[in-house]
Structure formats: structure tokens, C-alpha cells
Amino acid sequence: MRIAIVSDLHLGYERFEEDAYAQARGALNRAAAMADAILIPGDIFDKRAPKPEAIAQAINIFRALSRLEWGARVLGSKSQGLDRDDVYTSVPIIAIPGTHERTAEGRENALRLLSLAGLLVDTSEAVTTIAKGDERVAVFGLGGVSEERVRERLKALDPKPVDGAFNVFMFHQSVYELLPFNDEFIHYDDLPAGFDLYVNGHIHSMVEATVHSKPLLIPGSTVLTQLKEGEQAPKGFFIFDTTTGKHAFERIDSRPFIVIRVMADGDTPSQLQSRCDDEISKALAGTSTKPIVRLVVEGTIAEGFAGSDLPLHALSSKYSQKAFLDLNVSALKSRQQEHELEELREGKVGGLSIKEMGMGMLGARLRASGFDSRLDFQELFNLLASPQSKEKVLRAATEYIESIASSSSGAATAQRTVADDGE
């Protein structure tokens, strides 16, 4: 059986709404022409509560697919070992909800509406069996779950391969081995063993990896949603052959994404504008489709200028008909900022060390509070700054304050006694 894996369509994505629709439709139509079945590991929609226009787009796409002649068909679906009675199509388009479609427990999500309409099968926390002749493919799905709950949910569901079938585990999560910056992300070892193929969504770049000695395929998104350099790679989907175990990545027509970096080194705003203009012009040479261009200006601008002095509006206006420009000067620094950053790296502010500033502030506060000017506040600062003596100083200070309070209380009592005797 030939299985297409298409993910993260993000229908209703507002920034490039037409791209999302056109590229999703193009990817799914091509996938249907090449494969016996389609798997969609999440994020068909961009929002939990998509606009009616986005739902209409999805209905139009999947209704056209449902009218095709398919090489395989859905035999049935089970949840916790029991046959489901909410599968309304035999068309082998199997999907799960992603993080963008996740709703509160007990509430329906947008993907579920497509399933109830008989346009696809939602196999979240269920196993759906597809048949082609004598061959069986069983797909277990785990929809997008919060990172802190995913291991707990997997343990509760305890997914197992189906005997006599080619088994696919389909999920929608961040994976630590691919995004190693949060240990709560699911690890390869957390995924259930024994499946023949692992399919994931959520990650927007194409990935080919191995889990439990079996292939893990992530096709990436069909539309650009994050203007990061990693998303310059082609968009597309996978075709996997269950007989040979081989797979191929099929590119789709998608809007080009170009990242341009310009490094300033004391340039004036007009010089920088000219350099940026040249780089954009070179990048657009020979492009037939209006691309998305992200211009990142870094480095240090000339003395007396700030990043806000760069006339970005002129560039936006000049290329508005030729490209979708995203201009970023957040990393462009002035000479003054560079000097201040260097001081901070050296532990200084305004030419003074952090320690000198701290001593000065402590002395000013003590004098303002009426402490004896003979108090050696520099020695006090050093004591407070030392982990070894800090507790001792604080304990002594507490005892001193308590003694003052006690003395004040005693004096006040004495005054009241004298007053009473006078009466």
C-alpha cells in the first residue's frame, strides 16, 4: 500500500490565507493521485475555533477528495478495544487534531466536525484499519497533547500494534531529539515500541529519522507560518510504500521564502538603505512568483544614529508589488548601545563598576535614613556581599532593630506612667 503523509495545512492562517488554502489543496490532490491512503498528523486548521470561511475551505477540499476512486478503504475503527459507531466514511483519509485544534476536554474540535460530516476519519486515541486487497494497515493516533501530559496519556492508552497488519503510530508533538531545549518534550524512547512506521506533525520542517529502529517521518507544513531560516526548505509531503519500506519526499508548488542578512559596521542610515536595496534587488532577480523576503539588519549603525533612523518605509514601498517584505532591525545597535553593553560585560555602568554603584547607593540610603555618618558603609556593603558573613550581619541588624523597638516601647511606657502620676 502507498501511503501519503501530509501535515500542518493551517487553513485559515491569516497572514498568507490564500497560500494556505491553495498549497493544502495542491498537496492533497497530488497525494491522492499518487497514494492509496492519506495520513494527516494534525493542524488542518490554524485556530481552535476557525472562521466559517476556513471551515468552508476545508469542506471544499475534502469533499472533492471523497468523490475520487481510492485504492484502499477504511474497514473500521476501535477505541479502547471497542468498535466505534461514529465513523461515517470508508474514504481512507485518516487524521488527528493538532495543537492548533486542541480544545478543552469534552468539547468538540474543528477536525471532529469534518469527521462527523463523513469527510475523513478522526483516529485520535483510536486505531483505524485500512484495507487494500488482503493487506491491512492499522493507524493509531494521538492528537496534540500538552507537553506535561503526553507521557501520562501514552501510559494510560498503552498503544499496541495490531497482529497481521502494518502498524503506524501517528502523533503531533514536539520531540526533544529534534528540539532539545525543553526536557518536557517527548523523547524517542517514550514512544511505544513495535510499530512499523512513526508519523509526526507539529514540526514545520521536513525530518527523516529513526525510532525503535523504524522510520520516523515528519513532512513539515504545507504553508509558511514562521519566518525562520529553517523554513526556506521546500514544502511537500511523503509517500511511503508499505511493501518495500521505502519513502520519498514530494515537493509542492509553494511561495518562495528568502532570508537576507545585512551586517552594518558603522554605516549611516542612507548607506544601509542602499546596501539593503541592492541585496533585495539581487535576491528578486529571476523570481517569477512573488516571494516572501525576510530582511534582517544586524551590527552597529554610525555614531549619532539609531536603528529607527533606517528608512524602512522606503524599501517597503519600493518592493510592495514584487515581494512580501518582513523587515527586522531589532539586532541593529547604536554606538551608545554597544558601549553600554560592553560596560555591562565588564561589570560597569556609566564608567563605574557594579560594586561601586552598589556602595554609593547603600551610603546614600543610610545617610537619608539618618544613620551616623561615621558608619563605615563600605565595610557593611562588603559584609553583606559576602555569603559567609551575610547571615551574621542580618542577624545582628535584626537584634539591633529589636533593641531599638524595645527601648522605644519602654520609653513610651515610662512617659505614660509619668503622665498618669501627674494626673
Residue 202 DSSP symbol: S
2-251 under CATH 3.40.50.1820, yes or no: no
Indicate whether 417 pLDDT > 50. no
In the structure grid, which three cell numbers stand for residue 95, read together? 487524521
Cβ neighbors of 291 (< 8 A, separation 6 or more) are 255, 256, 257, 258, 283, 284, 323, 324
From the centroid of its chain, how far is CA 142? 19
State percent of the chain over pLDDT 90: 67
Q: Tell me the per-residue pLDDT of 276-324, one tens digit each, with 9 for 90 and over.
A: 999 999 999 988 889 999 999 999 999 888 888 888 889 999 999 999 9
Return d(Cα 300, Cα 333) in angstroms, integer: 5
Which band of pLDDT confidence, cut at 50, 70 and 90, is reported for residue 99? very high
Average pLDDT, the chain: 87
pLDDT of 414: 47
Provide the whole-model pTM.
0.77
Question: Could you state, in order of their start, the residue ranges of all structural domains in the chain?
Answer: 2-251, 257-339, 386-423
Q: Is residue 201's pLDDT more than 90?
A: yes
Q: What is the pLDDT of residues 127-166, one digit of tens each?
A: 999 999 999 999 999 999 988 899 999 999 999 999 999 9
Question: Given pLDDT bands bounded at 50, 70 and 90, which one contains residue 379?
Answer: low
Q: Mean pLDDT across the stretch 262-273?
A: 93
For residues 407-422, give the mean pLDDT.
50
Please report, as a single letter, which amino acid is at residue 221: S
Residue 228 has a pLDDT of 81
Nearest to 38 by CA among 14, 78, 68, 83: 68
Q: Which residues of 330-352 are buried (b: 16+ CB within 10 A; e: fewer)?
A: eebbbeeeeeeeebeeeebeeee
pLDDT in tens, 3-62: 999 999 999 999 999 999 999 999 999 999 999 999 999 999 999 999 999 999 999 999
Share of the chain above pLDDT 70, in %: 81
Q: Which residue has the cell 498568507?
A: 16
336 pLDDT tier (thresholds 50, 70, 90): low
CA dihedral sign, ordered 95, 96, 101, 105: positive
